[in-house]
Amino acid sequence: MIRLTDLSFGYRNQPLLFNGLNLSLETGHIYGLLGKNGSGKTTLLKNMVGLHYPKAGRATIDGVDTAKRRPDLLSRIFFLPEEPYIPDHTAKAFLETTSPFYPTFDRELFNGYLAAFDVPERRVLTKLSLGQQKKFMIAFALACRTKLLVMDEPTNGLDIPSKAQFRKVLASAVDEDCCIVLSTHQVRDLDNLIDSVIVLHDGTVKLQVQLDQLTEQIRFGNVSGTAVASALYGEAAFDGTHAILPNPERISSKPDLELLFNAVVSDSGILLNYLAKEEIR
């Protein structure tokens, strides 16, 4: 559905951030785009949705270049920036002016999301707290039911209960016809929420994988003693070494996204070489 093909992009008078980057995303998935601060997540997402224009290569949705910004395509994409613009409007006025751009907008769903997020509906939006403003925009973004929903750092600015609400609401919003992309540098926020991981590092996609396939090839667990030597990656902790291990016995384990991310961006390359051999990257 979404293809970034040989995409190159750099800001004016700056070296290229991406040089020949390739990425394919499909509907029916929630992707987590992971990367350190400054790794280019926002820039990549803006290329994806047609807010930045590639210097070379293409970003397409169903074969149409997003950079052309065709209205029929834009009505099927929602991009929620990390710090969305909040107009000095009531929710009602906001819906009246903005929802017509999205033919699939569902008012009932929106009301349900606002209730789940505990956001009052009648206040002027700029009078809401920053967290409430963010939740209002997330509720709107989800209720638009666009084919592609991209949220840049959606959990930034949310307190702990709101992060739990976000998780619950998002899980109920996924369907086979849409593709959701969430970026974060706070990897743990996406635990149990995403089914696929994309790690962006040094201007390239270091890893793109479905978590269920990944956990067939590797196993996450705590090890100690001689077992540490067999780890593909490990981090010492008070309760042993948190490790990523080969998984020939196909033992199921819960992926530790932070450990996975650290392993991928570490210099060792052992995990990536192993996965390349197992042909799942």
Query: Site residues (CB under 6 A) for ligand ADP?
Result: 11, 14, 17, 35, 37-43
Check: CB of residue 183 under 8 Å from CB of residue 153.
Answer: yes
DSSP assigned state of 192: T
β-pairing verdict for 218-223 and 204-210: unpaired
Q: Which is nearer to ligand ADP, 32 or 234 (CB)?
A: 32
Query: Tokens for 97?
Result: 């002016």
SS3 content of the chain, % helix, strand, coil (to 5): 35, 30, 35
Look at residues 51, 121, 110, 123 and name the one whose alpha carbon lies nearest to residue 81: 51
Q: Which is nearer to ligand ADP, 35 or 234 (CB)?
A: 35
Q: How far is the CB of 35 from ligand ADP (least distance, A)?
A: 5
Q: Which is nearer to ligand ADP, 16 or 128 (CB)?
A: 16
Q: How far is the CB of 201 from ligand ADP (least distance, A)?
A: 10
Q: How far is the CB of 33 from ligand ADP (least distance, A)?
A: 9
Q: Which is nearer to ligand ADP, 6 or 202 (CB)?
A: 202
Strands (E), the chain: 2-9, 18-25, 29-34, 56-61, 64-65, 77-80, 148-152, 179-184, 196-201, 204-210, 218-223, 233-237, 240-246
d(CA 67, CA 60): 8
- Other beta carbons within 10 angstroms of residue 13's beta carbon come to 5
Angle at 206 between CA 205 and CA 208, to 5 degrees: 75
Q: Which is nearer to ligand ADP, 3 or 36 (CB)?
A: 36
Q: How far is the CB of 39 from ligand ADP (least distance, A)?
A: 4
Q: How far is the CB of 199 from ligand ADP (least distance, A)?
A: 12
- Residue 254: phi and psi, rounded to 5, are -85, 125
Look at residues 114, 280, 140, 132 and name the one whose alpha carbon lies nearest to residue 213: 280
Q: How far is the CB of 10 from ligand ADP (least distance, A)?
A: 9
Q: Which is nearer to ligand ADP, 75 or 204 (CB)?
A: 204
Q: Which residues contact 150 (CB under 8 A, 6 or more apart)?
A: 45, 48, 49, 77, 78, 79, 80, 180, 181
Q: How far is the CB of 91 from ligand ADP (least distance, A)?
A: 29
Q: Which is nearer to ligand ADP, 43 or 165 (CB)?
A: 43
